[in-house]
Structure 1
């Protein structure tokens, strides 16, 4: 269901820290983008999820860690590329908000020069944290234009990022009432029977068009723009899917719910999923209310 309370209570003095963290991510976005052309090769290292890192992954991660270290009110930093949470509180106590970041979502798209992004989640709790502890979330989309979506206090805003600064172009972003796009990850033969039945129902609507680009942020931005549904489902070979709760599921679920849509792990809102591990995976389904309601009914 749509989120109107903005998650955790922002009235406890977190407003400045949330805005400062958004600004810090925007400030390094042009540098991340400018550094991509020469960092398209895979290294020998893997991240905690077992995926081979590109030079671009670690480059973006280092820039974002440095940016978060300068944000007053952010106490810890974690990313998909690091095993442990890092203390960035200048007093050394880790006090303040917890920043969880996917530095370069869709980095496999770098080789063919397709869309990528950066995802930020801000929790008012130690990591791993519940979605209910979110006080803000954002993503940067490195498309033909560099844009940034921010969500807090039940409101979503879209900005263009120019020279490291944000210029607002849309306020109170909400999902259109008449959805028209869908994008589903995972190999079709690996889908569960129930999810395949759901896909058949979605595709039976002639107004729905397939939009799947291999970077979640690009696909989510399609849903926010046109309305619809995105899913990286539970698979026969991976019942928890592929995406990470702390770095992808929670912040994207929060943004979509703030925009008037719904999120689900197949049974409940992503924001209600118990957090047990920093790098735990979760099935992700987000979109217009009716499409998520139909999903949960079909998977039941």
Structure 2
């Protein structure tokens, strides 16, 4: 290897290229890895063989890049030191892997931070996701959160990114999807749901990244809110909350913990959870007012 690249955005582009290059191998390995393994991941969730397979592939490929100093995954208790570079990469290797049994979409989420983990959303220099749907696609941006442009790519069988278009959230929202059990929703969030379900179509498939893709495509709102049994919600700030907020805000929408942008949430731990609400500006503004 040569000297580590010290330009975080250049390293981030290399990370996105690498994630795309690994995506066909991740997808090809899914059919034979639908069984659950013994034990749980650091978030207390059951682990599929496919989760571990995707994590190992991504750690090997991303960790080999010049400029990447740290690799962290939802499947690992601790971050892995991979070199002397300035960039830390946080990955959800297979978001929505429980959908594998029912053969529904899932994805890989990646966040590239300029600094050590845990890091705040304003430290992101790139973020995005691969979606394993009828086609394999990538949605991603590079640059500071306030400056990024979000683009969609098709991922070829050879793992190349082919640009499709820039993404802007439609002004006329159409869909909504909310996680958690309805009896577990706090009363203020339930009241907000009562409002928007009269205006929007329900689209919820059990994989965060697939549901977020619906919002990006059609406009609307996705949330995994605070629950009565889990006041911080379910999703992880480093691996899910920050990268999804980066993408939605970069596409012209908003994100919120219920009290301001997810990107401004203080980072206190690698597997820290945070309520996640993303979508069109008006819908998130109304949600914050309802939770106020």
**TM-score higher than 0.5:** yes
Other-structure match for 2:161: 166
Q: Shift of residue 73 of structure 1?
A: 1.3
TM-score normalized by the length of structure 1: 0.93
2-side partners of 1:69 and 1:293: how far apart? Answer: 39
User: Where do 1:62-73 residues align within 5 Å?
Assistant: 62-73=56-67
1-side partners of 2:163 and 2:98: how far apart? Answer: 29
SS in 1 for 2:150: strand
User: Where do 1:197-208 residues align within 5 Å?
Assistant: 197-205=191-199, 208=200
TM-score normalized by the length of structure 2: 0.95
Of 103, 110, 128, which residue of structure 2 is paired with 1:138? 128
Determine which structure has greater relative contact order: mean sequence separation of CA pairs < 8 Å that are 6+ residues apart, divided by chain length.
1
Other-structure match for 2:285: 293
Other-structure match for 2:33: 39
Other-structure match for 1:189: 183
Of 89, 92, 97, which residue of structure 1 is paired with 2:87? 97
Of 259, 262, 277, which residue of structure 1 is paired with 2:269? 277
Q: Shift of residue 74 of structure 1?
A: 1.1
Of 7, 12, 23, which residue of structure 2 is paired with 1:18? 12
Does 2:141 align with 1:151?
A: yes
C-alpha contact 2:176 2:203 (8 A) present in aligned 1: yes
Q: Shift of residue 267 of structure 1?
A: 0.3
What is the number of equivalent residue pairs in this alignment? 282
1-side partners of 2:142 and 2:163: how far apart? Answer: 15
Other-structure match for 2:3: none
Of 111, 119, 125, which residue of structure 1 is paired with 2:109? 119
Does 2:44 align with 1:50?
A: yes
C-alpha contact 1:33 1:142 (8 A) present in aligned 2: yes
Q: Shift of residue 115 of structure 1?
A: 0.5
C-alpha contact 1:152 1:258 (8 A) present in aligned 2: no
Deviations 1:206-263 (A, max 9, x none): xx11000000010000000000000000000000000000000000001100000000
SS in 1 for 2:56: helix
User: Where do 1:224-239 residues align within 5 Å?
Assistant: 224-239=216-231
- Structure 1 ranges of 4+ moved more than 3 A: none
Q: Shift of residue 145 of structure 1?
A: 0.3
2-side partners of 1:71 and 1:16: how far apart? Answer: 11
Deviations 1:108-158 (A, max 9, x none): 000000000000000011000000100000100000000000112320010
Deviations 1:166-225 (A, max 9, x none): 111112x110000000000000010000000000110122xx110000000100000000
